[in-house]
Structure 1
Amino acid sequence: MAPSLLILTDFFQAANRALDYATNLARPLGARLVLLHVRRDSVLDPEMLTGKLSNLDNEALHMALNSITSDLPVPVVVEIGHGRVAYAVADTVSRHHPTLVVLGRPDTKGTPDELVSTTALDILRTAPYPMLVVPHNVSSTDPPRRVLLAVDGEAFSLGPHAGATRHLLDALHAELTVLHVEEHAGPTAATARALASVEDTGLTMGLPQPLRTRSVVAPHPAEAILQAARPEDFDLVVLIARPRSFFGELFHRSVTARVLLHSAVPVLVLPAAG
């Protein structure tokens, strides 16, 4: 079966941008699209009161879905879910087994991180899965080539997602740069260990360009990653998110959350196994 990309849509600007991005990404992957719209029709959904959700009846909903899928240059399957988005995504993932979940990041400028409740963070907490988050104002929807992989130097495994991620990087002919970020200065061998932790996953196998490395000592790792992942230098930033990143009251203060909320380039989050 051909690989697939699962895209969430609510018909707003960020979702439309993510659909354009996913469509262009599907071509080199030889993938089809699974387009998911979730009807968040619970009266308890806080965003029902904010005007941030589309409120279409069944006829209008199907017309909107047909409108955005009729001219897509890649195969597409449409799904409609109900209720909480994270659970609808988990259900769709269990049936389609996509390479990635793709969604747009809306404009939250001016809102403190602690007050931002985004679909991406909710999904990562509820059902961690490889996720690509596309900013609403991303300057290009071309497939990424210049990829920045941020690591902390600890060994990690991507478990069942390693093969699909390696295929993604290979299909993109990615130029991979490993960014090793430490909060405090350590031994010179730390960068070598960070590079080895990436090579041990097999992600670098078959890449057309030599692996590049950068090492940064910064008290705030998220800020160092955001400064490095500038659009003029990179097209995509990849984060390895460990299970501890998804739980607890401090999630919004984690490196993963900070980069997801503020990166100027698309962010690919790969949950570490274990």
Structure 2
Amino acid sequence: MKTVFVVLIDVVADAPRIAAFAAQLAKPAGAELVLLHVHAIPLLEPTYGMLMSPAEYLSQVPDLTETLTQLAQQLPVPTTVESYQGALAEALHQIRGRYQPRLFVVGVQEEHAWLDRLMQNQTLPVLRATRLPLLLVPATATPLPAMPLKVLLAADTEPIHLTEAAKALRPVLTSWKATFTVAHVSEPEAGIDCDMSQALKVVRTSGLVPLEADHGYHVQDPSCAAGILRAAAAAQADVLLLIARPRSFLSALFHHSVTAEVTRHSTIPVLLLPVEEEPATLPGTSLHLENEAG
């Protein structure tokens, strides 16, 4: 089966930048692109009221197929254009069934108006519910690298159990020929050597990315998100890779989690990689449970 990246085109003015970056990432992996634009009907909160009926709203949405088709013809990899009207969840369901994508790519815009916030709050939960790798490209990430040369992977000391989707992305990550480095953040009073060594060990054991040396960035910071961003700056990383566990990925990813804070403030693309939780131990053995703090 061919490798496909789906690029969700939300703001058309930003489409050439996002699509070109996705194409550069896809090329060494032999992947193809699908440019997906969904004319989603905003589900307005009751306090705002319905500005117009769904039919009226869609009648005023311009047909962007021709614009995206012209863009597709300029990209260095085979690219298909898909356009849907209606619910984003249904569009993604159909796209996933048709193309079996390895990765979703989406631009993250700076929020200005309440309608922009509402649309983003609808889009990101639907995307994260697919449990597929998700590459977020912030509007502030300018210029984007032609290819990632340095990827920083933020890891804790918990084992990384790859999902099938994460395993399928490993050849893509390897094709980038980038240097992968691990970052670990701990509280200021915590130990350094032991935690950093364990973080490196869990990444190596996972087989997710090739690590060329037992070297990483250990940052002591009361804010895990701030520490990750500091490590990314110190490493001069082109892309930040975050391990998204179910308790944060499905419940609090874009609300109060570490992942949310990093994504909100990062000036480089952020790759969110969903993984499984550690399997529960058998009855009679100790089991450490954590809440959905993210």
TM-score normalised over the length of structure 2: 0.78
Asked if residue 28 in structure 1 is aligned to residue 33 in structure 2, the reply is: no
Contact 1:34/1:76 (CA < 8 Å) preserved in 2? Answer: yes
Contact 1:42/1:83 (CA < 8 Å) preserved in 2? Answer: no
Larger Rg: 2
Q: 2:152 aligns with which of 148, 151, 157?
A: 148
Q: 1:214 aligns with which of 214, 217, 226?
A: 217
Q: 2:209 aligns with which of 197, 204, 212?
A: 204
Contact 2:65/2:83 (CA < 8 Å) preserved in 1? Answer: no
Shift of 1:54: 11
State how 1:34-113 maps to structure 2 within 5 Å.
34-41=34-41, 44=44, 55-57=60-62, 60-108=63-111
**Partner SS, residue 252 of structure 1:** coil
Any idea what the Cα deviations from partners look like across 1:164-215, whole Å, max 9, x if unmatched?
A: 332122111110110011235146322211111111111234x6x4353111
Q: 2:181 aligns with which of 174, 177, 181?
A: 177
Contact 1:236/1:265 (CA < 8 Å) preserved in 2? Answer: yes
Aligned residue type for 2:275: A
RMSD: 3.0
Contact 1:17/1:136 (CA < 8 Å) preserved in 2? Answer: no
Distance 1:54 1:247, change over 3 A: farther
Asked if residue 164 in structure 1 is aligned to residue 138 in structure 2, the reply is: no
CA distance in 2, matches of 1:147, 1:239: 10
Shift of 1:239: 0.2
Aligned residue type for 1:260: T
Contact 2:10/2:107 (CA < 8 Å) preserved in 1? Answer: no
Distance 1:232 1:148, change over 3 A: closer
Match of residue 2 from structure 1 = 2
- Larger deviation: 18-27 or 186-195? 186-195
Q: 1:233 aligns with which of 231, 236, 246?
A: 236
Aligned residue type for 2:222: P
Shift of 1:218: 1.5
Distance 1:127 1:182, change over 3 A: same
Percent of aligned positions with the same letter in both sequences?
Answer: 39
Contact 2:249/2:274 (CA < 8 Å) preserved in 1? Answer: no
Shift of 1:126: 2.6
Stretches of structure 1 lacking an aligned partner (at least 5 in a row): none
Aligned residue type for 1:182: S
Aligned residue type for 1:135: P
The size of the alignment, in residue pairs, is 264
Contact 1:175/1:211 (CA < 8 Å) preserved in 2? Answer: no
State how 1:237-252 maps to structure 2 within 5 Å.
237-248=240-251, 251-252=254-255
Contact 1:157/1:273 (CA < 8 Å) preserved in 2? Answer: yes
**Partner SS, residue 197 of structure 1:** helix
Aligned residue type for 1:224: G
Shift of 1:216: 1.6
Stretches of structure 2 lacking an aligned partner (at least 5 in a row): 52-57, 278-294
Contact 2:145/2:238 (CA < 8 Å) preserved in 1? Answer: no
CA distance in 2, matches of 1:240, 1:37: 27
Shift of 1:73: 1.9
Any idea what the Cα deviations from partners look like across 1:239-268, whole Å, max 9, x if unmatched?
A: 001111134468511011111121010000
- Larger deviation: 83-92 or 134-143? 83-92
CA distance in 1, matches of 2:93, 2:69: 24
| Larger relative contact order, structure 1 or 2 (CA cutoff 8 Å, min sep 6) | 1
TM-score normalised over the length of structure 1: 0.84
CA distance in 1, matches of 2:147, 2:217: 23
